[in-house]
Structure 1
Amino acid sequence: MSRLSVLAYIFGAVFFVVSCSFAVFYGSKVLTHDLPAEKKQSKEYNYHFVLVPEELDNEYWRLVEQGAKAAADKYGVLLEYAGPNQGNIEDHLKTIEMSAASKVDGILTQGLSDEQFTPLINRVVSSGIPVITVDTDAANSKRLAYIGTDNYYSGFLAGKALIQDTKGKANVAIITGRFYANHQKQRVKGFQDAVKGEKGIHIIDVVESEISRVQAAEKAYQIMKDHPEVNAFFGTSALDGIGIAQVVDKFVKPGKMYIVGFDTLPETLEYIRRGTINATVVQEPYEMGYRAVIMMIDHIEGKSVNPIVHTNTKILRVGDLPLSHLDRRGERK
């Protein structure tokens, strides 16, 4: 081998070693950049709960979720918010079943239908997982407790408000979220019982909106078309009053239609301020979620829990709106 060949061989070997060294060095730099220097410790939780609402994107249930998450964060609970995107009883039941199968520490949900929810809740509780019903009770099940509105009483309050505001003279149509839902049925029954002794008040029709403001608006329009004598509405879910108000705002002269709705979503408050909605039933969804989590913790830790906890319910009218709804001169906006 010539001297030139030897030098070329040595140069090639040195180049190879240097190239490999650079590759290893920069490769390690890339890996070091991509991976944390020290593995982060995952947060530890005391318990794992699941909150299963009627539908995930419902504004009312988002308030329940906010309350539940606030309590969960405070007391070291991993809280999942899971359920159907839009109201679907089969998906709702399936979410409860899946939550139970994953062996969570507790389930918070509605008891929408005695026929379908009671057997499932009983099976879940028998498997060792406590269930608290929120907003809607399954009173005949083995649920640990119920926290939420006294739904019969809330409907009764709405009926009394209508009597007072209309001086006992009205032809009323009721738009309710779902015919099968326990809380909706109780609200309708409470309203009916409140007005049944009033000779000047007549319930003309009761229809279902399927918890949809669009359908509530469509049903309200159809009722006004089919029953021109109707001059009052009662909407039993958070979106019913809003849907009714949208139609009334467009087709009815101000002051010619009385509306009593449910809950205090921003749109509801705006319609009250404008005079389209005359009154609404106030619930406490945030409080329901917050206290439900605490009740579940108390039960797991061996403390006694009341089987029925009713949150506050009242009627709100324009004169009850907070100062945030007043202009700078102290007058109603």
Structure 2
Amino acid sequence: MKKLLLVTVFAGSLAALAVTLYLMLTVDRAGLDASVGTPGAADEASERIVVISQEQGSYVMNELRKGAREAAAIHGMLIDFSGAYRSNVEELLKQIDIAIASKVDGIIVEGVDRPDFARMVNKATEKGIPVITINSDAPGSLRKTYIGSDHYQEGILMGRYLAEALDGEGIAGVVMNADSSDTDQLRLRGLREALRAQPDVRLVFAAGEAAKQQAGMQTDDMLNRYPGVDAFIGLPADSGKSIVEAADSRSKRNPRRVFMFDDSPQTEELIRSGAVQAGLSQHYEDMGKMSVDLLQRWLDSDRLPLSASYFTPISVVTAAEAKEAAP
């Protein structure tokens, strides 16, 4: 009787284990299909591409994914998304290397203008894997093309708008990314070029250790050293709230105008409320769609060569535009 009971329990355990394994495999497969997000995900003949970002989970990446996923579905491509967190270049390079080892058909990646990044892109190219940079470029690499905003022209546009808002006279504090990215440098070149004709508009920056800190600390440092600062320009995405809070903590009676280089939901809300005067619209979803379309063109050998770059539109977002775009 005991022997029969043991056999029954053992058989029941095996059955439960089999069901568990089946459910795990089913869930894993469903998760994979959801990650690629295209019809026919099980079709091994489909071309496989990967989009790799510098900052997973950010507003920018989420918008890029929307456009890329939509275009991949139209082309019947399998698409996956990976990347680094908090702009970790070493992790970004690791993700590219993984994609190369996986023998994907194409890579779309946010570029970094560094020799080690160029070497990784060149490695992919030597393996026959085309690489397209998106949102930020690596012009010294063998990437096939760049899709995104012209960051130098962003600086020009913002510089002209700033000069007009200040009536051609004042001090503007520039809040930088802690790592002072290539994108920042291009925007600054544009800002300075636009303000060459405005000698009474002066740009100032945080100094020393404060320059390596987050937006609020940089704002405090500039307020300490330049009490008469009239405005702030924020280069880091989503830094508007920190800049506004730091500026308001000094004097709400003498508000400083704030201008941003992004149009994230947080920035748009600050624009609608009047805390931020203007931002720049970057059209990230269009970047994602265009990058997949152009990668498909390359894979199909259609209308080649590609242009060295494809610039997406940029425009100033003010309270009127932000309110109109509100759901």
TM-score per shorter chain, which class? Answer: 0.7 to 0.9
Deviation at 1:248, TM superposition (A): 2.4
Contact residue 112 and residue 182 of structure 1 kept, 8 A? yes
Structure 1 residue 228 corresponds to structure 2 residue 227: yes
Measured in 2, the distance between the counterparts of 1:324 and 1:290 equals 21
Partner SS for 2:83: coil
Please name the residue that 2:35 is paired with: none
Question: How far apart in 2 are the matches of 1:227 and 1:59?
Answer: 32
Query: Within 1, Cα distance between the matches of 2:177 and 2:64?
Result: 18
Q: Give the residue type in structure 2 aligned to 1:320.
A: E
Give the partner amino acid of 2:182.
N
Aligned pairs for 1:286-305 (under 5 A) are 286-304=285-303, 305=306
Report the AA paired with residue 184 of structure 1.
Answer: D
Counterpart of 2:236? Answer: 237
State the AA in 2 paired with 1:63: E
Take 1:74 and 1:31, find their aligned partners in 2: how far apart are those partners?
40
Q: 2:265 maps to which residue?
A: 266
Which residue identity lines up with residue 73 of structure 2 in the other structure? D
Residue number in structure 2 paired with 1:309: 310
CA deviation vs aligned residue, 1:88-134 (integer Å, no higher than 9, x gap): 12222222222212211111112222433223322221221100000
Distance 2:119 2:15 in 1: 59
Offset at 1:58? 2.3
Aligned length: 310
User: What is the aligned partner in structure 2 of residue 330 from structure 1?
Assistant: none
Aligned-partner residue type, residue 239 of structure 1: D
Once the two structures are TM-superposed, the CA of residue 16 in structure 1 deviates from its matched residue by 9.9
Matched to 2:155, the amino acid is G
Q: How much is the aligned-residue C-alpha RMSD, in angstroms?
A: 3.1
Report the Cα distance in structure 1 between the residues aligned to 2:313 and 2:209, rounded to whole angstroms.
26
The answer to whether the aligner puts 1:71 opposite 2:56 as a matched pair is no
Percent identity, aligned pairs only, is 24
Matches within 5 A, 1:181-330: 181-205=181-205, 215-253=214-252, 256-304=255-303, 305-323=306-324, 325=326
* Matched position secondary structure for 1:303: coil
CA-to-aligned-CA distance 1:18-54 (integer Å, 9 cap, x gap) = 97997799678757855769x9897225122221211
Shift of 1:243: 2.7
| TM-score normalised by length of structure 2 | 0.82
Structure whose CA Rg is larger: 1
1:4-153 alignment runs, 5 A limit: 43-44=42-43, 46-153=46-153
SS in 2 for 1:144: coil
User: Structure 1 residue 265: deviation in Å?
Assistant: 1.2
Change (3 A) 1:90 1:255: same
Shift of 1:321: 2.2
CA distance in 2 between counterparts of 1:51 and 1:313 reads 22
Specify the SS of the correspondent of 1:167: coil
Give secondary structure in 2 for the equivalent of 1:276. coil
Instruction: Tell me by how many angstroms 1:59 deviates.
Output: 2.0
**Distance 1:208-1:49 versus aligned 2 partners, 3 A rule:** farther
Change (3 A) 1:88 1:208: farther
Cα offset, 1:241, TM superposition? 3.0
SS at match of 1:82: strand
Question: Helix, strand or coil: the match of 1:251?
Answer: coil
TM-score, with structure 1 as normaliser:
0.81
Q: Which amino acid aligns with 1:317?
A: T
Cα distance in 1 for residues equivalent to 2:105 and 2:314:
30
Structure 2: how far apart are the matches of 1:43 and 1:203? 55
Is 1:173–1:233's contact at 8 Å kept on the other side of the alignment?
yes
User: Gaps spanning 5+ residues in structure 2: where?
Assistant: 30-40
Contact 1:150 1:310 survives alignment (8 Å): yes
- What residue is the counterpart of 2:157 in the other structure? 157
